Structure 1
């Protein structure tokens, strides 16, 4: 953890305020700060110390500060805001990048526009809520937008969802990117080797099709819908593997059909992607999910629900085969049946998905676009920005 001020007048200092600290948000932030270190920036990550983000960001070259914040708003919010304010005063950043709803709430309350601020929702909080809670979240996002110099969305559909909710803001859309050096097609025998190396698959013949779902076991990711669809699909003996852990893990394990495999959390999902004949992600909401991009970059075809970012992730020719409505087990079952019954189609979808993903979703391109956004916001105001943080 940082023990001294992170001020360095020779480099642009970016403070990433982050909660949650696992899953896609952690991977996005880790990849982003690694690219920023390579570009000569000074990224600082303030986040809860538990979870993979703190270690990953430190390994990537960022300075890391402990910011004790719970995932959801609650009675500790006031203390979390004050802690964020103290960190910001010490760090004196040129720009603040707040990731996801909780950090966006605490960070914007702490700064209130005195430092150039980017808020990145990583999927809107009001989409995850119902009733009065959803209304309160929407009202806050409408109000909090005044303290965002820019709201950064990872898909055009995420931006449109914000506009439909009545949020008035200066918007930027920069697609998620992935590390194409890590996620690349396996060699000729690598898929077979990957399957052989995965202990949970012991005893599963190599000719049996393998369907993999990578994601936190949560309501958002919709694994419960997938299990209902799996019961109804004509899978031809295929096996389903759920890679991940989360708050719905116990319930999903209890209700899963016989033969479904649960691996728990994985620090490296590439062997599962390489072993898979199909990756499915039945999310209820997203901004733009990373797992499908990672799979397509490796040449693995995907099946997604039509949530924010999904259409923008897929090549146009994939839409009839690889996109179904969210929370529709019957449509998901029909798509699983069709794809598992057509190996030639899966091969073609893998080939075209790989080509587009590697051309469009490179994390270095994403990081470059984010840097240009920072430079636009900061401009020539660095000295004045530092004075404002001390008030």
Structure 2
């Protein structure tokens, strides 16, 4: 569908794969804010709940079929995207996460302003030769991004150390502080008086639930009766189920995590890598104490006074167990951490501030030059 030649509003194309989890929530928050601001917004993605919710918000949605990981289908994915770009003719392309960033930059090649937002670097998610190849691409592909948006200063620093020469902008993640608020737990989530630890996230290697399960027997030794709820679903569900010790519940995917946050005595996210995770921000907004691994974005998401109590080294189940048990045994400290965390998120991680920072970046990239449409280039189909 070609845009009207008389409509002066710029069109933004959000390109994303994956279509679930934190990346999808960030995209939807930006889409909502940009539609409210009067931009014309198109979302290209492989369907899923993200596509349905973007349509509900009023965005144009285009199906772009792409696997989550690079593979033999990449050339066809790039060609399909190039045709989509010819039809949509965006003034700016915002590509989210590694796969969309790969295909998007190959299809656009800098012909219109292009924003790439890694949401954690691709080379951190893999090992060996695959990691080397991912890093080589990120170094090469940076030339086709007018701006690389990192969600934390630590994520930017990781890119710089890795030799990715780009124009960086840091825009910390934000959450809807009017939606995530303190409240009483519901009976379904708070079925007993036993201490409850909650971990919200996709069940996958990145989020580190296996490390928490390995730590859990030691937590039970020190805090008998404690319960652990893993909230979410993902590719590691079966493997984690085989690993799970006693007093662990798998809730599956939930439409609204707030009841679980509000029921928790402690929210834990033992990630192996991140850019800046949303779950700890959501939990703090609900007034709950959090414990996170010291990966990119973790320190920046916490109040400065929380580091001594709420950060543990990544990949160390023993340290994780000690920190979880210590916090469960100190209700006064947990209450203080939850109160300070709530005020911190309200002041520094409100989604409205995030949306305005992205809008300012768009204005910078689109200002001072005529707004241009994406022109058809046969070479990108080859």
Q: Which bin holds the TM-score, normalised by the shorter protein? A: over 0.9
Give the alignment partner of residue 227 of structure 2, picking from 229, 239, 242. Answer: 239
Give the alignment partner of residue 330 of structure 2, picking from 342, 348, 367. Answer: 342
Q: CA deviation at 1:389?
A: 5.0
Q: CA deviation at 1:174?
A: 0.2
Structure 1 residues not aligned, in runs of 5+: none
- Partner residue of 1:283? 271
Q: CA deviation at 1:5?
A: 2.9
- Partner residue of 1:46? 44
Give the alignment partner of residue 289 of structure 2, picking from 286, 296, 301. Answer: 301
Query: Could you tell me how far apart the structure 1 residues matched to 2:131 and 2:281 are?
Result: 29
Aligned partners of 2:14 and 2:94 also within 8 Å? yes
- Could you list the per-position Cα deviations for residues 287-321 of structure 1 after superposition, in whole angstroms to 9, with x for gaps in the alignment? 00000000001101100000010000000111111
- Partner residue of 2:203? 217
- Partner residue of 2:212? 226
How many residue pairs match? The answer is 375
Q: CA deviation at 1:387?
A: 5.7
- Partner residue of 1:74? 71
Task: Give the alignment of 1:146-161 within 5 angstroms.
Answer: 146-161=143-158
Aligned partners of 1:229 and 1:333 also within 8 Å? yes
Q: Secondary structure at the match of 1:89?
A: helix
Q: CA RMSD in A?
A: 1.3
Task: Give the alignment of 1:237-386 within 5 angstroms.
Answer: 237-383=225-371, 385-386=372-373
Task: Give the alignment of 1:87-126 within 5 angstroms.
Answer: 87-126=84-123
Aligned partners of 1:7 and 1:93 also within 8 Å? no
Query: Could you tell me how far apart the structure 1 residues matched to 2:326 and 2:96 are?
Result: 38
Q: CA deviation at 1:6?
A: 4.5
TM normalised by structure 2 equals 0.96
Query: Could you tell me how far apart the structure 2 residues matched to 1:278 and 1:32 are?
Result: 29
Q: Secondary structure at the match of 1:197?
A: coil
Aligned partners of 1:7 and 1:92 also within 8 Å? no
TM normalised by structure 1 equals 0.94
Aligned partners of 2:111 and 2:374 also within 8 Å? no
Aligned partners of 1:115 and 1:389 also within 8 Å? no
Query: Could you tell me how far apart the structure 1 residues matched to 2:223 and 2:269 are?
Result: 17
User: Is 1:175 matched with 2:163?
Assistant: no
- Partner residue of 2:11? 13
- Relative distance call for 1:144 and 1:215 in structure 2 (3 A) is same
- Partner residue of 1:140? 137
Structure 2 residues not aligned, in runs of 5+: none
Aligned partners of 2:64 and 2:80 also within 8 Å? yes
Aligned partners of 1:114 and 1:389 also within 8 Å? no
More displaced 10-residue stretch of structure 1: 351-360 or 56-65: 56-65
Q: CA deviation at 1:59?
A: 1.7
Query: Could you tell me how far apart the structure 2 residues matched to 1:387 and 1:329 are?
Result: 50
Query: Could you tell me how far apart the structure 2 residues matched to 1:10 and 1:137 are?
Result: 38
User: Is 1:83 matched with 2:80?
Assistant: yes
